[in-house]
Amino acid sequence: MTPEKKVKQKVVDMLKKHDPDIYFFYPVAGGYGSAGIPDIVGCYCGRFFAIECKAGKGKTTALQEKNIDRIRKSEGRVMVVNEGNLDDVQAMLESIETHLKGVY
């Protein structure tokens, strides 16, 4: 398993542990899909989120940055995580619960 795949698996484990009903998926990047979309896309308590997973000091590409910016401008939650900031995923989920749960 690649280092980036390990980060993705840890993020997925965190999502499932936090709430088994969180909706998320891995977008298809090739074929009919679009390049530069974050690795994990989902919805929790009515709030869109996206997570780009990197290993070590991996950097986002210009196209990934463009998509990250578009998500932020649309008021979605988006983050880039690696082994060093995985706790940010938990913080994001708790923030969504605090501010949005039950408000639709």
pLDDT tens digit string along 43-101? 999 899 999 999 998 899 999 999 999 999 999 999 999 999 999 999 999 998 887 65
The pLDDT value given to residue 1: 85
> DSSP characters for 30-95?
STTS-TT--SEEEEETTEEEEEEE--TT----HHHHHHHHHHHHTT-EEEEE-TT-THHHHHHHHH
DSSP classification of residue 27: -
Q: Where are the domains of the chain?
A: 3-43+55-100
Residue 10 CA to residue 34 CA, distance in Å, equals 24
The pLDDT value given to residue 104: 47
pTM of the model: 0.89
The pLDDT value given to residue 28: 79
The pLDDT value given to residue 31: 65
